[in-house]
Structure 1
Amino acid sequence: MTADRATIEANLRQHVETLAGLIGPRTLARPKTIAATIGYLENQWREIGHEVERETYVALGEQATNLIVEKRGTSRSDEIVLLGAHYDTVSTTPGADDNASAVAVLLEVSRLLRDHDGRRTARYVAFACEEPPFFNFGEMGSQHHASQCRQRGERIAGMLCLEMVGYFSDELGSQQVPPTIPARLHRFFPRRGNFLAAVGNPPSWKLAWAFRRGFKRATRLPLFSICLPETVHEIRLSDNSSFWDQGYPALMLTDTSFLRNPNYHLETDTPDTLDYARMTEVTLGVAGAMRRLLK
């Protein structure tokens, strides 16, 4: 393992153990855990050297907070590449994979690209309220942010949604196929949960192609990239759908959640169940893809 990989892996482990081990379930119903999460993320970003903006709104009568970091582009700064992950959980889980793994990768990619001068603007967002009871009720942090982007007329060149990126298995049969995929097509899908998936809708195919090229140059971790119609409802189960609804191209980057991880939304979704070496490769791959998209 190189020194860079060792540092990334140690940082990822620290982030996940803090969020899912020390803080635990992160929901507006437990305001102290939300405050602790926001404080941790802000402190981490400031230590990296980023300025952090709070974007607040009302979700089911409570104040919710998105956290935003930007690094402006050099010549095409009006075009934005957004990397985001939700930091909340359901009340039944400490949320190591869902979604501390993704928040950890978000922090590490923003660290790796701190001094990268892309022509486009890089925006990193930690979203509130992705999980029920807020999901698909117009109360999600990503729904608020995406609608604000549209109202401001912002040009989101691509949104990358990190959603559960830490659980892997080499065992045959460890990877399930979305139930809405016709059985005759199942043979085209992987059966081992040893890859990262990059899933888009048809209008996001150019983003998917560019992401794949950047990712594959940076890591040998297997990547399964596919664009599916939104009638395959499993592809709409995270923050990427908020940006599709506003007409922006977006991808969900995921270990495929409940199609692979048996700890989904359970108290067993703990830091010790994650594969930090492969999460390190996810981080390197996403950073490589961001570099390509920011050109």
Structure 2
Amino acid sequence: MTFAEQPTRELLAEHVAKLAGSIGPRILAKPESIEATVAYIRDQWENMGYQVREEAYQASDGPAKNLIVEISGKHPSSKVIVLGAHYDTVAQSPGADDNASAVAVLLEASRLLKNQTPRHTMRFVAFACEEAPYMSLDSMGSQHHARQAKQRNEQIQMLCLEMVGYFRDEPNSQKVPPTIPKFLHRLFPQKGNFLAAVGNLASWRLNWAFRRGFKQATKLRLFSINLPEKVQEIRRSDNSSFWDQGYPALMLTDTSFLRNPHYHQPSDTPETLDYDRMTQVALGVVGAMRRMSK
């Protein structure tokens, strides 16, 4: 690890420790946990010099809010590169990987990109209400944001951070989505030592552009794939909200339950994560956003 990467690793670990350690499960039914989470994210962004905007809406069982900061682009078009991550958890889990790891990378990417002067606007969004039951009840923060963007006629390209901190090197530590035909399984990695960039078929150009920027910034293995949305596993995060509005979007993920045995469990704790490779995820995402926003 280079000297320049060291602060990134330390900050990632601090963010996860706060969210999944000090705060723990983050659910609307426990308002103090959401208030503490929102306050922490807000404080981090304000300390970086950002102006934080709240995007409030009514979820199925109460008020919810997304938090948003932006780096305005120089180009007069409405193209916006969105990097997002949900900050809520399921009730029984502290959610270190799901999804404190992603919020940590979101915060660190926004810090590293703060002084950029991009051609296209870069937007960073911490989403409310990704976990069940909100997806099935049409109450996701990302659904609200994507609809609002569509009404504003924004040209969105969306990168969804969804569980980015768990890596394994053992053989057969990586599973293949059950809906993938068995004769295709040999085309998928067998070790859980990569980040996946997963898009629907319409997002192939975005996946290519992301891959080029990511690979210029890090040597971390990247598995890029575009699949039809009938493969249910690829719709299980905030990227699906943007697909539903016709936007290209990718899910950037350690593949969740296909790799991490702590998924949605009380054992999803900060010490289970690989902060060295999380650092490489952050650096790769930053490299991709720099390239995509030119």
TM-score range, shorter chain: over 0.9
Per-residue Cα deviation, 1:101-143 (whole angstroms, up to 9, x for no partner): 0000000000000001110000000000000110132100000
1:172 aligned partner: 171
Cα distance between partner residues in 1 of 2:103 and 2:34:
14
| Residue type of the alignment partner of 2:170 | E
Q: 2-side partners of 1:208 and 1:155: how far apart?
A: 16
Q: Is the 8 A contact 1:76 1:121 kept in 2?
A: no
Which residue does the alignment assign to 1:199? 198
CA distance in 1 between partners of 2:128 and 2:244 (Å): 18
Contact kept, 8 Å, 1:214 with 1:291, in 2: the verdict is yes
Measured in 2, the distance between the counterparts of 1:11 and 1:58 equals: 32
CA–CA distance in structure 2, aligned partners of residues 71 and 116 of structure 1: 8
Equivalent position SS for 2:85 = strand
| 1:127 and 2:113 correspond | no
Q: Aligned-pair distance for 1:61? A: 3.5
Q: CA RMSD in A?
A: 0.7
Verify the 8 A CA contact 2:194 2:221 in the aligned structure 1. yes
Q: Which runs of 5+ in 1 are unaligned?
A: none
Distance (whole Å) between structure 1 residues aligned to residue 193 and residue 79 of structure 2: 33
Percentage identity across aligned positions? 65
Deviation of residue 77 (structure 1)?
4.9
Taking the aligned partners of 2:251 and 2:186, their CA distance within structure 1 comes to 22
Q: How many residues align?
A: 294
Q: What amino acid is aligned across from residue 141 of structure 1 in structure 2?
A: G
In structure 2, the residue matched to 1:118 is 118
Q: Which moved more, 1:178-187 or 1:57-66?
A: 57-66
**Partner in structure 2 of residue 101 of structure 1:** 101
* Paired residue secondary structure (2:78): strand
Residue identity opposite 1:3 in structure 2: F
Q: Contact conserved, 2:168 with 2:193, CA < 8 A, in 1? A: yes
Which contiguous aligned blocks of 4+ residues in structure 1 show a shift greater than 6 angstroms?
none
2:259 — aligned with what? 260
Q: Which string of whole-angstrom CA distances, capped at 9 and with x for unpartnered residues, describes residues 75-123 of structure 1?
A: 2452100000000000010000000000000000000000011100000
Give, as a single letter, the amino acid of the residue that structure 2 aligns with 1:186: H
Write the deviation string for residues 214-272 of structure 1: whole angstroms up to 9, x where unpaired. Answer: 00000000000000000000000000000000000000000000000000000000000
Once residues 118 and 71 of structure 1 are traced to their aligned partners in structure 2, the CA distance between those partners, rounded to angstroms, is 8
- Residue identity opposite 1:166 in structure 2: G
Q: What letter corresponds to residue 57 of structure 1 in structure 2? A: Y
- SS of equivalent residue, structure 1 residue 13: helix
> More deviation in 61-70 or 92-101?
61-70
